[in-house]
Copies of this chain bind each other. A is one copy, B any other.
Amino acid sequence: MNDIFATYESEVRSYSRTWPAVFDRALGSYLYDEDGTPYLDFFAGAGALNYGHNNPLLKKKLIEYIERDGVTHGLDQATVAKRDFLATFNEKVLQPRGLNYKTQFPGPTGTNTVESALKLARKITGRESIISFTNAFHGMTLGSLSVTGNSMKRGGAGIPLVHATPMPYDDYFDGQVPDFLYFERMLEDSGSGLNEPAAVIVETLQGEGGINSSRPEWLRGLYDLCQKHGILFIVDDVQMGVGRTGPFFSFEEAGIQPDIVCLSKSIGGYGMPLATTLIKPEHDVWEPGEHNGTFRGNSPAFITAAEAFRQYWSDDALERSTLAKGERVGQVLAEIAEEHGGAIAKGRGLARGLGFEDSNVAGKVSKAAFDRKLLLETSGPSSEVVKVMPPLTVSDEELEQGLQVIRDSVKSVLA
């Protein structure tokens, strides 16, 4: 029955190769294949399913909305659904955190928000160059790709990707070099050859790059450096935002207020496409329609997003639960790492990983876990890290069950 995919779908498909099952239904932490076999999902749509699959609280509102023929496709028209999104987002998320942003709907995917952020930063500053970081991942369209590190992805562009300069991410040199030594020196030396940057774009924790977590003080140092040099500060929170690391925004712990924030994936709540670009009001220099797109107003996703704000961000319960579960995952991964030389536990919140020296191990662990009906993905430049990213709504039992499978899978590979 897989013939259909092999025959009709492009060779570019990838997850269907990692997990050779045909999935049919999904609920909470589980995906079910067409035979009804449940798979515990510790990947959560690459961070798009923080509230779990088909979250019943959101589903209720979604069906109500569809049933009553609420606007589905709204371009960037004013709609009741969008208004509710904007009001609720400000009330539940931004204002309690002392943040003041205008919201752009730049098209419903991560790469749309990144492209809009880069365009806006260039418009504001009149400069072209962007500072990105080693092992960054920001998306597959040309602008986003130019700030992405992975050489295979970059190669796919087919044209030289220029206009961006990679800088070392936190701890890139294992502590051998003071933070920002290189970046700061290049900025201050008018003979360095560094093109004057419009902006820095940074993930506070690199998911695709290998679950590399930056320290709050590093992030703050980078932020201060940008402030000092008039460089805009963009946080790509597409994968790490919406609670993945605990707080709604992954940069909260660092106590900074980025100029522009990119959100997508879990912002829609129910796994439907949505993205927002948050812009400090003084930077909102767009002309009407200067950046547009057909699916900016994916209204069903506004509905589920707003309901998610109400359900999960009216208090700090989810944040605390995520941090607690994250601690537990971290503890188990550390134990596993200790048992097996050459492994290392990485990450924070519920964005965790287990890195292996031998870059073949992670893929084998993922495969062993799949045999045990657990979905785990790898990341990192050589796919050397097993990514552990369950839904934030995972139950303690599911968590323990998944962690045990990880333990067993690692053991089976390294035994």
Extra contacts besides A11-B287, A26-B69 (17): CB < 8 Å: A8-B89, A9-B86, A14-B292, A24-B79, A26-B73, A45-B294, A46-B75, A53-B72, A53-B73, A122-B158, A134-B192, A172-B185, A173-B177, A177-B177, A177-B182, A191-B381, A272-B295
Majority secondary structure of chain A interface residues (helix, strand, loop or mixed): loop
A78 to B300, CA, bound (A): 24
A48 to B91, CA, bound (A): 32
Of A278-286, A334-342, A398-406, the one with at least 4 CB within 8 A of chain B: A278-286
- A195 & B160 in contact (Cβ 8 Å cutoff): yes
A59 to B15, CA, bound (A): 29
- B135 & A189 in contact (Cβ 8 Å cutoff): yes
In the assembled complex, A13 has its CB within 8 A of some CB on chain B: yes
A14 to B248, CA, bound (A): 29
- B77 & A12 in contact (Cβ 8 Å cutoff): no
- B119 & A156 in contact (Cβ 8 Å cutoff): yes
Distance in Å: Cβ of A41 to nearest Cβ of chain B: 10
Near B by CB (< 8 A), chain A positions 28-64 give: 31, 34, 45-49, 53-54, 59, 62-63
Interface size on A, residues (CB 8 A): 156
- A152 & B23 in contact (Cβ 8 Å cutoff): no
In the assembled complex, A344 has its CB within 8 A of some CB on chain B: no
- A104 & B293 in contact (Cβ 8 Å cutoff): no
In the assembled complex, A140 has its CB within 8 A of some CB on chain B: yes
In the assembled complex, A225 has its CB within 8 A of some CB on chain B: no
In the assembled complex, A102 has its CB within 8 A of some CB on chain B: yes
- B78 & A22 in contact (Cβ 8 Å cutoff): yes
- A110 & B71 in contact (Cβ 8 Å cutoff): no
A103 to B10, CA, bound (A): 5
User: Across the interface, which residues of B come within 8 angstroms of A409, CB to CB?
Assistant: none
- B157 & A140 in contact (Cβ 8 Å cutoff): no
A278 and chain B: residue at smallest CB distance: B10
- B181 & A209 in contact (Cβ 8 Å cutoff): no
Report 13 cross-chain contacts, Cβ distance below 8 Å, ordered by A residue. Answer: A5-B86, A10-B284, A12-B287, A25-B68, A25-B70, A26-B70, A46-B294, A63-B63, A109-B294, A139-B293, A142-B146, A152-B290, A272-B272
